[in-house]
Amino acid sequence: MSSQDTLESALGDLERLESEGLAALGAADSPEAVEAARIEYLGQKSGRLKAAQERLRTLEPSGKRAYGQRFNGVKQALEAALEEARTRLERRAVAADALDVTLPGSRPRLGHRHPLTQTADELIDLFGRFGFSVARGPEVEDTRHNFDALNIPPVHPARDPLDNFYLSESTMLRSQTSTVQIRVMEAQPPPVRVIAIGRVYRPDTVDATHSFMFHQVEGLMVDRGVTMADLKTVLRLFARSYLGQDVKIRFRPSFFPFTEPSVEVDMLWHGGDRWVEMGGAGMVDPNVLRAVGYDPEEVTGFAFGLGIERLCMRRHGIDDIRLLYQGDVRFLEQF
């Protein structure tokens, strides 16, 4: 056999060694199979790569350089395939440990309702026990429901563009939940006993007690013979049920276009010495009743509006409204 034929044969054996070794390592699907392929092809004593290295001695000097270069390439390829096989099995083991379908599922850590949501739900439950159902309405409202039907004339300062979020001449972000009361009365005849709850918008400068968006709960009761005594009774019962039996309530004369007479409702809580405004209230103005097709000679009603943020802050001793909207988990976890 010539030296050229011997070199060609040796290179051919290297090609087969590489091909078979890569196939064996690629097909190994267990640590035992990977180790067996390593010993067969890369073993230090009896591996096939070791035998191929020994063959270098049998070649003519002119062929050793070419054979040696090809041998190094085969060795590097097999070593890389061995490392890849080991990494593949390690990843599979990690994945198996991370998800064992035979184990019971892990219960996810749940959060809880926001303090404002808790307050709103408590108010819904409390007024529900007083016989009030819940009504909701759109936050993008027309000026008829936000102003006209509530007896607020075009020249009234409450309609000033600087005090409202107008979207067009006739639409706006509602500035009060009283809009829902109008929609309820338009849709059903008396008697009516509902609370309207939701977000309202006013371009106030944000500080410790003001926000451009806040929440209101409005109450409305319309029927035959409803009086101011009914209004005061409902608000006193509400205050004692929500804030505690030691809360004191007072009513101060005031003015709202949609109620007549009108009052401001203040609360004195936990034996304090400072009165804090809780909301506004009054008897529904006859013009409002006429605007929705009711006869003020036949029915009367009362309405009140309370700020949910203010009630929440008073209940939990929160001194800055901004804390309710910053999403700080350290603050929210307290509730």
DSSP labels for 191-218?
PEEEEEEEEEE--PPPSSS--SEEEEEE
132 and 234 assigned to the same domain: yes
Q: Look up the domain containing 79 and give its range.
A: 3-98
Q: Which of 98, 126, 148 is the last residue of a domain?
A: 98
Q: Do 71 and 165 lie in a common domain?
A: no
Residue 94 shares a structural domain with residue 170: no
Residues 78 and 126 in one domain: no
Based on the fold, state whether residues 55 and 135 are members of the same structural domain: no
In a domain, 108, yes or no: no
Residues 131 and 269 grouped into a single domain: yes
Domain count, the chain: 2
The last residue of a domain, from among 71, 98, 125: 98
Nearest to 196 by CA among 308, 278, 291, 116: 308
* Residue tagged 């309820």 (tokens): 184
Picking from 69, 98, 127, the residue at the C-terminal end of a domain is: 98
Q: Are residues 19 and 56 in the same domain?
A: yes
Among 119, 279, 301, 297, residue whose Cα is nearest residue 193: 301
Question: Which of 219, 297, 218, 285 minimizes the C-alpha distance to 255?
Answer: 285
| pLDDT score for 97 | 63
My answer on whether 266 and 328 are in the same domain is yes
- The Cα–Cα gap between 16 and 51 comes to 13
Q: Helix, strand, or coil here: 54?
A: helix
297 is in an annotated binding site: no
> How much is the pLDDT for 7?
81
**Quick one: which of 142, 282, 144, 165 has its CA closest to 214?**
165
pLDDT value for 35: 87
166/191 same-domain check = yes
Asked if residue 126 and residue 94 are part of one domain, the reply reads no
Q: Is residue 155 part of a domain?
A: yes
Pair of tokens at residue 302: 């009362």
| Euclidean distance between CA atoms 26 and 301, whole angstroms | 84
For residue 230, give the CATH number of its domain.
Answer: 3.30.930.10
Q: What is the pLDDT along the chain (335 residues), one digit of tens a residue?
A: 444 447 888 888 888 888 888 888 888 888 888 888 888 888 887 888 888 888 888 888 888 888 888 888 888 988 898 888 888 888 887 666 666 667 787 777 778 889 999 999 999 999 999 999 999 999 999 999 999 999 999 999 999 999 999 999 999 999 999 999 999 999 999 999 999 999 999 998 888 888 899 999 999 999 999 999 999 999 999 988 888 887 888 999 999 999 999 999 988 765 667 787 888 999 999 999 999 999 999 999 999 999 999 888 888 888 889 999 998 888 888 88
The answer as to whether 59 is a domain residue is: yes
